[in-house]
Amino acid sequence: MNKKVLIAGGAGFLGCRVSEYLLQNGFDIKIIDNTQENVSIPDSVEFVRGDIRDYDFLQQELLGIDYVINAIGIQPFSDSKDIYSVNVEGTRSLLKASKEHSVKRFVHISSSAVYGIPEFSLLSEEYPFKGKGAHCESKILAEQNCESFRKQGMVVTIFRAPPLIGPGRLGIFSVFFNWVEEKRAIPLIGRGNNKIQFLGVDDLCDAILKALMSSEEKVNDTFNIGAEDFNSIKDDLTAFIKGENSYAKIISFPSGFIKFILIVFEKLKISPFYKGVYEIFDKDISLSVKKINKQLSWRAKQSNVDALRSGYKWYLKNKDLPEYLKNTNRGYMRQGILGIVRRLF
């Protein structure tokens, strides 16, 4: 008999990809999401529209569920009350209902944002929480909820992931992909000598599968996860552009100047980027994955460049996305003022 997995936030970029991956590995899938999007769901996947903050709704939908994957997310530039409500209260409701129904495994997808702006590279899981702002703080509180239910006897796996890239992911990367396709110059914040670690979505899917299949004592823990093959952001972007035979070039600008301009654009509500993105783009951001390597025998198959290529390939095939996908991680991000700036390069 197949095991049944409930994926909260299953209509999003990660949720859709995890659904496909687990289906291929013999699991029965149920998705819950409050999206109004006309998402394409395989016939073999059960899709229920609803809000994970609604505990009574969850009580009904968790009947017969063996495993839960919490892939809920809300755009970081959303209203702070909504961010806390979805990420914190939603996670708590899902945990509570899962415990009530004796769910065997609970996998929570967190973010490297909990670390804030780190003081050094290759952070271990013991690095303290330093994230500021509604998005980061809500991720921290959600993790603390997970840890609380773990102490109550639940088996809870937490994955702290850097930015995800791969088939179906556009969002902020749609701006970069569009400029590469049009062979325009790519403005870079700072010299680009810093390292920023990404993660191929299929590598995360593989880790989630291991969290469902490995022994309880191994998975009942918190893990950093990320690509293991990555260089400076300038070198990775240059290698990607070269591999796509694009004439786009990287142009470096002083960090202080660009950040000031982006702050002004953001206040005027004409920038597609929020502070949490441009604030760290000239910093070294990378996580140590030694723990997950050893404990779950997981290794990343994709480098930063590999992940960019897979995402760009999907972008080229799916450029004419319908309007309902705009401003989502699976759709184009409106370029705002950058739509004008790009014509200057």
In three state form, how does the secondary structure of the chain look?
CCCEEEEECCCCHHHHHHHHHHHHCCCEEEEEECCCCCCCCCCCCEEEECCCCCHHHHHHHCCCCCEEEECCCCCCCCCHHHHHHHHHHHHHHHHHHHHHCCCCEEEEEEEHHHHCCCCCCCECCCCCCCCCHHHHHHHHHHHHHHHHHHHCCCCEEEEEECCEECCCCCECHHHHHHHHHCCCCEEEEECCCCEECCEEHHHHHHHHHHHHHCCHHHHCCEEECCCCCCCEHHHHHHHHHHHCCCCCCEEEECHHHHHHHHHHHHHCCCCCCCHHHHCCCCCCECECCHHHHHHHCCCCCCCHHHHHHHHHHHHHHCCCCCHHHCCCCCCECCCCCHHHHHHHC
Beta bridge partners of 186: 250
For residue 155, pLDDT beyond 90: yes
Q: Token pair for residue 135?
A: 């998005």
Report how far apart, in Å, the C-alpha atoms of 10 and of each of 18, 163, 287 are. Answer: 8, 18, 26
Q: Return the pLDDT at 330.
A: 46
For residue 241, pLDDT beyond 50: yes
What are the tens digits of pLDDT across the range 266-285?
Answer: 777 666 566 666 677 788 98
What distance in Å separates the CA atoms of residue 87 and residue 93, rounded to the nearest whole number? 10
Q: Return the pLDDT at 77.
A: 73
What distance in Å separates the CA atoms of residue 152 and residue 326, rounded to the nearest whole number? 41
The answer to whether 169 and 330 are in contact (CB under 8 A) is yes
The answer to whether 193 and 284 are in contact (CB under 8 A) is no
- pLDDT band at 36, cuts 50/70/90? low
What distance in Å separates the CA atoms of residue 6 and residue 264, rounded to the nearest whole number? 42
For residue 39, pLDDT beyond 70: no
Q: Return the pLDDT at 240.
A: 96
Q: Which residue has the tokens 């370029």?
A: 335
Going across the sheet that includes 105-111, the strands are 46-49, 28-33, 4-8, 67-70, 105-111, 156-161, 222-224
What are the tens digits of pLDDT across the range 2-30?
Answer: 699 999 999 888 999 999 999 999 999 99
Residues 6+ apart with CB under 8 A from 27: 2, 3, 4, 5, 67, 212
Residue 32 dihedral angles phi and psi, to the nearest 5°: -125, 140
What distance in Å separates the CA atoms of residue 15 and residue 328, rounded to the nearest whole number? 13
Q: Return the pLDDT at 283.
A: 86
Domains in the chain, ordered, with CATH? 4-165+197-224 (3.40.50.720), 173-194+231-284+304-344 (no CATH)
For residue 198, pLDDT beyond 70: yes
For residues 297-309, average pLDDT: 97
What are the tens digits of pLDDT across the range 84-131?
Answer: 999 999 999 999 999 999 999 999 999 999 999 888 889 999 999 998
The answer to whether 114 and 142 are in contact (CB under 8 A) is no
- pLDDT band at 340, cuts 50/70/90? very low
Residue 176 dihedral angles phi and psi, to the nearest 5°: -65, -45
For residue 137, pLDDT beyond 80: yes
Q: Return the pLDDT at 345.
A: 53
Question: Higher confidence at residue 127 or residue 320?
Answer: 127
What distance in Å separates the CA atoms of residue 272 and residue 305, rounded to the nearest whole number? 23
For residues 64-68, average pLDDT: 97
